Chains A and B, each alone.
Chain A
Amino acid sequence: MFTFTIRRLILTIPTLLFISFVIFLIVKLSPSDPTGNLPLTIPSEVREQIREALGVNKPLIVQYFLWLKQFFWLEPLIYLENTTGWNLGTEGETRLISYQTRSPVMDLIMQRMPQTLMVVGTAYVVGILIALPIGIISAYRQYSVFDQAGTFISMIGFSVPPFFSGVLVIVVFSVIIPTDSFFWLPSIYDTTHEVVDWESFKYQFRQMIMPVMVLALQITAQISRFTRASMLDNLNQDYVRTARAKGLSESVTVMKHVVRNSMIPVVTVIALGIPSIFGGAIITEQVFKVNGLGQLLIIAIQGGDVPTVQTLTFIFAILIVLFNLVADILYGLLDPRIRYD
């Protein structure tokens, strides 16, 4: 397993380089333009000058290698300088600059990270915590009222897009319920809010309720369905009968044997989902004005901001590759018969 991990990690580098090039091609070829969102009163010569100043017109391959150098060499060095205080000679080098804000892309990402992790990450944890018991009980009591209700709610939850469920909860909890009521919730997420005491914690909690619930609904639906299906497959296996026959209690049989053996597809889904936490939740972030990484990405795409789109997507790619590796390792732990060597 160890050599496997090492080999996979080494293989990751060329894979990621290739992925980064493909992403770069796509982002560069896509026809949005950094001057596209400017008012029409700005004439085309001026737009051309803006593009020139941004370096949009340089040859494709030059831009790609510049990005590689900035991402893999310069930015880590600057990070090191900032944390250790050493001078590594990065003075005068141009950092990875966003076209829209003319500020370093890495700073933007760092700034967005907290609210994204806070909202999307919490939603993910909440979603998993709700989904697993629902999935397990639904499968164990297949076709019971609990199972039917769980299926119904989770499928509806999955087929209602957040641009609708988000607005619906806002209308109910922010508009219909009067502002001074205990149940009123803020419809706009305050990203500058800092938790310092109990009162501010309460506010943070309140402003997170709606976005977290809307997001968790989607996640719960997905994971609980996979858990249920996988559990059903395992509940009828011979080893379950054996376990029961040899007198193991029902809870040990189900929780230790069946659940463990049912986790492979669930682990895959969860591992695939974790990178998307960092990708943010584009629509939900927009509905509640959370302005996290998802909103950064969509604004950058709309604004033709190549450096930002490229960097965000690539970080996303790194996480995908890493978490898929984690999933592969977890398979081996869950089912020791699986070997890669």
Chain B
Amino acid sequence: MKLRTALLSAAAASVLAPMAIADGHEGERGRDGDVSIIYWQAPSILNPFLSGGTKDVESASMIVEPLARYNQDGELVAWLVDEVPTVENGGVSEDLTSITWKITPGIVWSDGTAFTSADVKFTADYCMDPNGGCAQVTKFEGVTSVEAVDDLTVTVTFDKPTPFPYGPFVGGESPILQAAQFANCMGAAASACSEENFNPVGTGPFKVVEFKPNDVITMEANENFRMEGKPAFASVTFKGGGDATAAGRAVMETGEFDYAWNLQLAPDVIAKMEEAGKGTPVAGFGPLVERIMLNQTNPSADLSADDRSVIRPHPFLGDPAVYKALSMAIDRPLLVEIGYGKAGKVTCNWVPAPAAFNSTSLSCDTQDIEGAKAMLEEAGWVDSNGNGTRDKDGVELQVLYQTSTNAVRQDFQALIKQWWSEIGVGTELRNIDASVFFGGDAASPDTFQKFYSDVEMYANTFNGTDPQSYLANGLCDKAPSPATQWQGENISRFCNEEFDALHKELTATAGLEARAEIGKRLNDIMVENGGMIPLVHRGRLSAHANSLGGVILNVWDSELWNVADWYRIDG
């Protein structure tokens, strides 16, 4: 049944696409009326440089576009340029310090003016202005200059050899803004430009008619869009707000909407919605991993503010027997089944995707309570005082386990607490409002950076397909501490000389295979030395109405990356 629908839509696509080109007159654009999209988090701004939120980046991706994008397989594809520059085609210099983009001639902005290299250069200047508070400034890390060689050629120069030069102007987080529109919005003035931020001029298939922040965006087809006969839809209603259940219901049960984003719902709830027969869930996998971070420092409340979660070691989590036993006691397939269904896979790795970086040396898909018990027993952890938790030298195996508030995470907490109690580890649970937990407020004791608990659970990922900067989260000097106002990405405070040395090697290595080899080793060091317990490789689950064709779920870039190709299946 599914297969047939898939075949039919593929057939429809192959019939429609040539027709659009064959007919090729203006009347074809906008032939399918309105398409409605619902995001349960509402977009608050349409300038992705001023907000890194996924909802903002993805809604803006229908309007403003980058020079190159990732496709659904994580490969780079040329978007506003003729080809993706590489060393082979001469676009990237031999010494890996510069990259030259050649813009496709004839592209115009939605206001009819020409798209030139000056706009690209302006975008770089805009984001790199230190007073602007640009959320995507890491995309421009290491960039020393951006030169407009001629109207259609741009060269980006880096301060050192950069094996992966596809940071600036690639992917939904780094689109090109129009220089003419944003000229007065540089630096500190960025915030005052609400008109520009709400209604950016772009090269994408749609343009904004009305933007109501945190509510709804009305868009219409861009009549100056470079591809003839596209987009098929004349207008877009982009609604935000509510919750994932309601969004899923609106697409799959009531049929009021055509596309719903990121349905983090229990698998049986999704299955029930699908039964209604109005829509189909689709899943895709990026590198997102739900994991338990193990604190390498001592989080005891008896320590002073300067020492808590700063001084090493943790009273017991440094013992390989303990962290291995904690991991063995977990039934990962069950977690996947209960929490994520189609949108989850068992993983033992920190970096499970792209496939080249997925290490196969670890295995963890069977629960082994007895083995875990034996391991603790052997290491001398026994319940000597009969209180139900094991102890050794007066240290009790009692952990505080925190996470952000979210139904699935709370189920995981309850399950894992029970498994750990079976092997004699006591657990106290705590959940914290996500805006506080991820808020990074140095005054709050409850942020995930402060890590005032023994273990904590959350999910993390990286953009694009190269994990180098993500792997840097295991470097010793990235650990948060009072000296850095609790900033830093090394949440578990992992510290391993071999890891640091190997990561340095990675930064100087070119060639996918060699990089993947090092990446896998880094992954193994982190997991085997008890930096974290990976739990679930999470996918993105979205749903589209059965009458909406052309949807290709892409987790490496904006989900709405190919909205120009969407069309209505007659029915």
State the A residues within 8 Å of B (CB).
29, 31-33, 35-54, 94-95, 97-98, 100-104, 107-108, 111-112, 167, 170, 174-175, 179, 186-188, 191-192, 286-287, 289, 291, 295-296, 299, 301-304
- Asked if B150 lies at the interface with its beta carbon under 8 angstroms from chain A, I say no
The proximity string for B residues 176-195 relative to A, scoring 1 for CB distances below 8 Å and 0 otherwise, is: 00000000000010111110
A175 neighbours in B (Cβ, 8 Å): 249, 253-254, 276
The proximity string for B residues 472-495 relative to A, scoring 1 for CB distances below 8 Å and 0 otherwise, is: 000000001000110111000000
Give A295 to B240 CA distance when docked, in angstroms. 11
The residue that B439 contacts in the complex, of A31, A170, A191, with Cβ under 8 A, is A31
Q: Is the CB of A170 within 8 A of B249?
A: yes
Q: Is the CB of A38 within 8 A of B53?
A: yes
Give A297 to B361 CA distance when docked, in angstroms. 49
- How many contacts A-B (CB < 8 Å)? 197
* A46-B137, A47-B487, A100-B45 given; A35·B214 CB < 8 A: no
The proximity string for B residues 253-291 relative to A, scoring 1 for CB distances below 8 Å and 0 otherwise, is: 111110000000000000000001000000000000000
B488 neighbours in A (Cβ, 8 Å): 44
B487 neighbours in A (Cβ, 8 Å): 44-45, 47-48
* A187-B249, A188-B250, A295-B214 given; A289·B239 CB < 8 A: yes
Report the nearest A residue to B55, measured CB to CB.
A37
A301 neighbours in B (Cβ, 8 Å): 435
- Asked if B42 lies at the interface with its beta carbon under 8 angstroms from chain A, I say yes
CB-defined A-B contacts under 8 Å, sample of 9: A31-B436, A31-B446, A32-B435, A33-B439, A36-B440, A41-B463, A192-B210, A192-B218, A287-B242
A302 neighbours in B (Cβ, 8 Å): 433-435
Give A35 to B443 CA distance when docked, in angstroms. 14
Q: Is the CB of B191 within 8 A of A53?
A: yes
Apart from A44-B449, A192-B210, A291-B212, what are 11 other A-B pairs with CB-CB below 8 Å?
A33-B440, A38-B438, A44-B489, A49-B130, A49-B133, A167-B245, A187-B254, A188-B242, A188-B256, A191-B212, A295-B241
Report the nearest B residue to A176, measured CB to CB.
B253
Q: Is the CB of B138 within 8 A of A42?
A: yes
A191 neighbours in B (Cβ, 8 Å): 212, 215-216
A29 neighbours in B (Cβ, 8 Å): 443
Please tell me the size bucket of the interface on B.
35 or more
Give A20 to B51 CA distance when docked, in angstroms. 29
Q: Is the CB of A104 within 8 A of B435?
A: no
Report the nearest A residue to B484, measured CB to CB.
A44
The residue that B441 contacts in the complex, of A31, A97, A187, with Cβ under 8 A, is A31
Give A295 to B41 CA distance when docked, in angstroms. 11
The residue that B436 contacts in the complex, of A36, A41, A108, with Cβ under 8 A, is A36
Q: Is the CB of B192 within 8 A of A94?
A: yes
Q: Is the CB of A97 within 8 A of B191?
A: yes
Q: Is the CB of B489 within 8 A of A46?
A: no
A40 neighbours in B (Cβ, 8 Å): 438, 458, 460-461
Q: Is the CB of B133 within 8 A of A303?
A: no
B256 neighbours in A (Cβ, 8 Å): 174, 186-188
Q: Is the CB of A103 within 8 A of B135?
A: no
B461 neighbours in A (Cβ, 8 Å): 39-41
Q: Is the CB of A32 within 8 A of B133?
A: no
Chain A nearest CB, measured from B60 CB (Å): 13
Q: Is the CB of B192 within 8 A of A188?
A: no
Q: Is the CB of A102 within 8 A of B212?
A: no
Chain B nearest CB, measured from A323 CB (Å): 27
Give A54 to B242 CA distance when docked, in angstroms. 27
Chain B nearest CB, measured from A266 CB (Å): 34
For chain B residues 47-100, which have a beta carbon within 8 Å of chain A? 47, 50-54
Give A46 to B138 CA distance when docked, in angstroms. 8
A291 neighbours in B (Cβ, 8 Å): 42, 212, 214-216, 240-241
The residue that A187 contacts in the complex, of B132, B250, B436, B460, with Cβ under 8 A, is B250
Q: Is the CB of A289 within 8 A of B242?
A: yes
Q: Is the CB of A289 within 8 A of B246?
A: yes
Q: Is the CB of B213 within 8 A of A108?
A: yes
- Asked if B413 lies at the interface with its beta carbon under 8 angstroms from chain A, I say no
Q: Is the CB of B441 within 8 A of A102?
A: no
Give 9 closest A-B pairs by Cβ, nearest first: A53-B133, A36-B439, A31-B444, A33-B439, A44-B487, A103-B194, A101-B213, A291-B215, A32-B435
Main secondary structure of the interface of B (DSSP, over half): loop
A103 neighbours in B (Cβ, 8 Å): 45, 194, 197-198, 213
Report the nearest B residue to A102, measured CB to CB.
B191
Give A32 to B239 CA distance when docked, in angstroms. 25
The residue that B254 contacts in the complex, of A51, A107, A179, A295, with Cβ under 8 A, is A179
Q: Is the CB of A33 within 8 A of B441?
A: yes
For chain B residues 100-155, which have a beta carbon within 8 Å of chain A? 130-138
Report the nearest B residue to A108, measured CB to CB.
B213
- Asked if B237 lies at the interface with its beta carbon under 8 angstroms from chain A, I say yes
Report the nearest A residue to B254, measured CB to CB.
A174
Report the nearest A residue to B469, measured CB to CB.
A43
B255 neighbours in A (Cβ, 8 Å): 179
B218 neighbours in A (Cβ, 8 Å): 192
- Asked if B44 lies at the interface with its beta carbon under 8 angstroms from chain A, I say yes
Chain A nearest CB, measured from B474 CB (Å): 14
Q: Is the CB of A36 within 8 A of B435?
A: yes
Give A41 to B174 CA distance when docked, in angstroms. 14
The residue that A287 contacts in the complex, of B54, B194, B246, B440, with Cβ under 8 A, is B246
Q: Is the CB of B489 within 8 A of A53?
A: no
Report the nearest A residue to B43, measured CB to CB.
A101
B446 neighbours in A (Cβ, 8 Å): 31
Give A62 to B182 CA distance when docked, in angstroms. 30
- Asked if B158 lies at the interface with its beta carbon under 8 angstroms from chain A, I say no
Q: Is the CB of A37 within 8 A of B434?
A: yes
Give A310 to B197 CA distance when docked, in angstroms. 23
A51 neighbours in B (Cβ, 8 Å): 133
Report the nearest B residue to A53, measured CB to CB.
B133
A36 neighbours in B (Cβ, 8 Å): 434-441
Give A44 to B446 CA distance when docked, in angstroms. 16
Chain A nearest CB, measured from B384 CB (Å): 40
Chain B nearest CB, measured from A308 CB (Å): 10
A179 neighbours in B (Cβ, 8 Å): 254-255
Q: Is the CB of B241 within 8 A of A286?
A: yes
* A101-B45, A187-B254 given; A38·B443 CB < 8 A: no
Chain B nearest CB, measured from A36 CB (Å): 3
Report the nearest B residue to A95, measured CB to CB.
B192
Chain A nearest CB, measured from B154 CB (Å): 23
* A36-B440, A52-B133 given; A102·B215 CB < 8 A: no
Give A68 to B172 CA distance when docked, in angstroms. 39
* Residue from the set A32, A53, A301, A303 with the largest chain B CB neighbour count within 10 Å: A53
Chain A nearest CB, measured from B61 CB (Å): 15
Chain B nearest CB, measured from A182 CB (Å): 16
Q: Is the CB of B191 within 8 A of A31?
A: no
* A36-B435, A43-B138, A286-B242 given; A101·B188 CB < 8 A: no
B134 neighbours in A (Cβ, 8 Å): 46, 49
For chain B residues 423-458, which have a beta carbon within 8 Å of chain A? 433-441, 443-444, 446-447, 449, 458
A42 neighbours in B (Cβ, 8 Å): 52, 135-136, 138
B239 neighbours in A (Cβ, 8 Å): 188, 289
Chain B nearest CB, measured from A9 CB (Å): 35
Q: Is the CB of A33 within 8 A of B44?
A: no
Give A71 to B431 CA distance when docked, in angstroms. 36
Chain A nearest CB, measured from B408 CB (Å): 17
The proximity string for B residues 374-412 relative to A, scoring 1 for CB distances below 8 Å and 0 otherwise, is: 000000000000000000000000000000000000000
Give A159 to B196 CA distance when docked, in angstroms. 46
Give A49 to B187 CA distance when docked, in angstroms. 11
* Residue from the set B470, B484, B487 with the largest chain A CB neighbour count within 10 Å: B487
Report the nearest A residue to B446, measured CB to CB.
A31
Q: Is the CB of A101 within 8 A of B135?
A: no
A170 neighbours in B (Cβ, 8 Å): 246, 249
Chain A nearest CB, measured from B193 CB (Å): 8
Give A301 to B434 CA distance when docked, in angstroms. 12
A102 neighbours in B (Cβ, 8 Å): 45, 47, 50, 190-194, 197
